[in-house]
Amino acid sequence: MAVSNMLFSDVESFLDSHPDLFEDYLNRKGNYSMVEKWLKNHQASKSPAAAASTAEPREEKGNACKDSWASKCDGLQRRASQKELRKTFARSKAINVNRTYDEHVNSRAQEPLTSMRRRALLRKASSLPPTTAHILSALLESRVNIPQYPSTAVDFKYYLKEHSEREFFLELVKDISNDLDLTSLSYKILVFVCIMVDADRCSLFLVEGTGNKKTLVSKFFDVHAGTTVLPSMNSDEVQVPWGKGIIGYVAEHGETVNIPDAYQDRRFSDEIDKLTGYKTKSLLCMPIRNSDGEIIGVAQAINKTSSGELFTEDDEKVLQMYLPFCGIAISNAQLFAASRKEYDRSRALLEVVNDLFEEQTDLEKIVRKIMHRAQTLLKCERCSVQLLEDIESPVVKFTKSFELLSPKCSADTETSFKDSMEKSSYSDWLINNSIAELVASTGLPVNISDAYQDPRFDAEADQFSDFHIRSVLCVPIWNSNHQIIGVAQVLNRLDGKPFDDADQRLFEAFVIFCGLGINNTIMYDQVKKSWAKQSVALDVLSYHATCSKTEVDKFKAANIPLVCELGIDKLSFDDFSLDVDAMITAALRMFIELGMVQKFKIDYETLCRWLLTVRKNYRMVLYHNWRHAFNVCQCMFAMLTTAGFQETLTELEILALIVGCVCHDLDHRGTNNAFQAKTGSALSLLYGTSATLEHHHFNHAVMILQSEGHNIFSNLSSTEYSDLMQLLKQSILATDLTLYFEKRNTFFELVSKGEYNWNVKAHRDMCRSMMMTACDLGAVTKPWEISRKVAELVTSEFFEQGDRERLELKLTPSAIFDRNRKDELPGLQLEWIDGICSPLYETLVKLNPKLQPMVDMIRANRANWEDLNKKRQSGQSVSTQAIPYSDEATETKICTPCCSGDSESTPSKTAS
């Protein structure tokens, strides 16, 4: 068809026949001015043009219009100023009873969640640890797409109402079914109720609270169908007490109230009408129920738009059909709001846990974080935490109190956090209040809605302060042992409402984590104090366990006798021939004679100090004391020099053996490893049950070496030092007879077969271990009188352990530890020599024949023990001269220098 021949009527007819084509063209070519002209021309009409239903709402100059709802001009109208005055007056008359938390859901919740929104959610979660669970929850939330149906214009709803009631009703139901924002949903319901019953004004009241604390709250008052802008969600709501007025009556009784003349009903109040100049004529009020039949709200319609008309039974039937759908939609929106609130609160609790585990070293910092989180969660004006002075005491006394004011109540949030000693006068009630003491003593939370109406509240103290308390929520703080360590309380919700049950549950859950954090911080502080005490104690013990400078100077200047003068090179050396100080000089002579001082550049003053401190760290027990350590060292010195092992071993090995002998029983307690295990002593817990004491002896030796001025190895190279410490540890651990039994069969076999090789490291290690055991048991190779005295001391020490086993552990000790079987000693000594000592020394003689005198002396001593054993078996009494076990003899030996020395006590390890 040529353009010049086209008529307008043909084009219009074509477009009427092809509405889809027209709609597509309008969407592509239409502009804002065209739509604005259309709205202006059709403003007064109820019936929209053919394409009106496709018009989309737009934002203009910041007004957030959700729908292009045209204003209705017909019907009874009132001036905007009167309407605002009416709302203000209604709010002023509202009774604020049991006001609960006002949950405002962000309007973004009803928008489709795009990828940008998802990224924003993940950014919001950045303050939490990047755990899989939290990221997953954020991603899940970001993908919850609520079904969205574009709301049609109000004019189109009027059109549907006149032409198709079924489509009209379906449109209204569909419009509220997908809105989970309680605020916008409530507003929609009011507008749609106005349209359905042709009401001039509508109000919606929702039930809040439970039990006898119910109240009716309306966030939108006097909404009419022609409103084009959604009222501010921050506006104050109107509250009506439960059972008061027409609204309260309908909510309480669940009845529909249809009043043709409001002024004739005694429940109606005309105060608002007088104030605004607007006259309420007819009134229709109906309850809204959820799916369980419970009343959750009340809808109220005022005055028909047609002057003089009343609300009819048809209006009631229409609302009775529509309001159940509204009840379902409101319940869904409330559930969604509650779930969002719980999600936000759960996330906040996770952030609390993160904060607590980030900071567990400073009590003030962690309490500051706790109070800041509490204010954020509960939106309160003030928060305080008070800690008990003594959690075990029945008397409640707070030792520390911390406070934090909301930024809305205090301009300087930094200075609002103060310790109890720095608080201003208004804090006195918080420090000494009876409510906190009541919670701390009973362990029960206290939630006060109106402080001045509660007898537990000190109103006089509050009146003298600048901060006035309306409501109080106070809960106890528990530690992991279910002990109350303090209380936490929040004051005055920012919205003016009292704290409800949800607030209390949240605060109690919050305080559980806070209690753990505070308890951990207190424990950390206690650990620091314990560490400080331990450091002081170790410093004191180190001072008293270290020799004095006078002693060091004394031996540093002393003349050291020669080896021949001391007789320390003899295998038959008398263990009791030297006094305490002479043993120190003899030990110095050993180091000098072996060339250790010169070879390893040992500072002579350090060597003197080290020997004196080692002597001081041996306890005053009967046998395993300093004298025993010196005698073991002397035996090793004789084996190295007289027997010639010095020529075979390296200088580093010799140094390790000599130092090992001196330190091998450091801090011995007079009991053996088995006793440590039986009693579960601290040593067994620290080192285990394998070579318990030997590990302790080595660690004690290391501790002395690491003490200031005691490191005789300070001039060794790092390699030499490392090798020496390994050799030293092997030497000391070798004195455990359990390890001796593990190795001796292999060693005996190598020597007997002639396969022992000094060039094999494992063979050398075994030989050094056997030498340490031989020196430790060396008393059995000494002349009879010396060997007998040593046996007496060892047996006396064993008997003391046996007495402890019988008294403390209620056990019957074995024969060698049983004082009641002391007459069996000769037989036990024969078993000791034959089973443990003789095989060892006879094998060493095969390796080094110069040790033959030791074997000869063992045989002589064995003969003496055998004679005594025969006399015992024949019924002859064994005289105390042969084996003096009398208390007098034992007491004498304890008092002699050979037994006491300058040492302390230690457990026996040799025979078990």
Of 625, 635, 658, the closest CA to residue 572 belongs to 635
Most distant CA atoms of the chain, gap in Å:
156
Residue for token digits 């957030």? 64
3-state secondary structure of 151: coil
- CA 253 from chain centre, in angstroms, equals 52
Rounded CA gap, 145 and 333, in Å?
A: 15
* Whether residue 624 lies in the annotated active site: yes
Q: Contact, 616 vs 902, CB < 8 A?
A: yes
Contacts of 861 (CB under 8 A, 6+ apart): 780, 781, 784, 787, 833
Q: Which residues of 590-620 are buried (b: 16+ CB within 10 A; e: fewer)?
A: bbbbbebbeebebeeebbbbbbbbbbbbbbb
Q: Contact, 849 vs 571, CB < 8 A?
A: no
Q: Which residues of 301-315 are buried (b: 16+ CB within 10 A; e: fewer)?
A: bbbbbeeeebbeeeb
Residue 45 backbone dihedrals phi, psi, to 5 degrees = -100, 145
Residue of 624, 628, 668, 697 with catalytic role: 624
**Count of other CB atoms within 10 angstroms of residue 418:** 15
Q: In the numeric block, which tokens belong to residue 715?
A: 């001039």
Q: In the numeric block, which tokens belong to residue 241?
A: 């007490």
Rounded CA gap, 362 and 755, in Å?
A: 66
Rounded CA gap, 838 and 442, in Å?
A: 74
- Residue 135, by phi and psi: left (phi above 0), alpha (psi -120 to 50) or beta? alpha
Q: Which alpha helices (DSSP H) does 234-380 contain, by range? A: 245-253, 271-276, 313-358, 363-378
- Residue 42, by phi and psi: left (phi above 0), alpha (psi -120 to 50) or beta? alpha
To the nearest 10°, report the CA torsion of 48, 51, 53, 57.
Answer: -100
Residue for token digits 């064995």? 862
Q: At what angle do helices 825-832 and 784-808 cross, to 10 degrees?
A: 110
Catalytic sites, residue numbers: 624
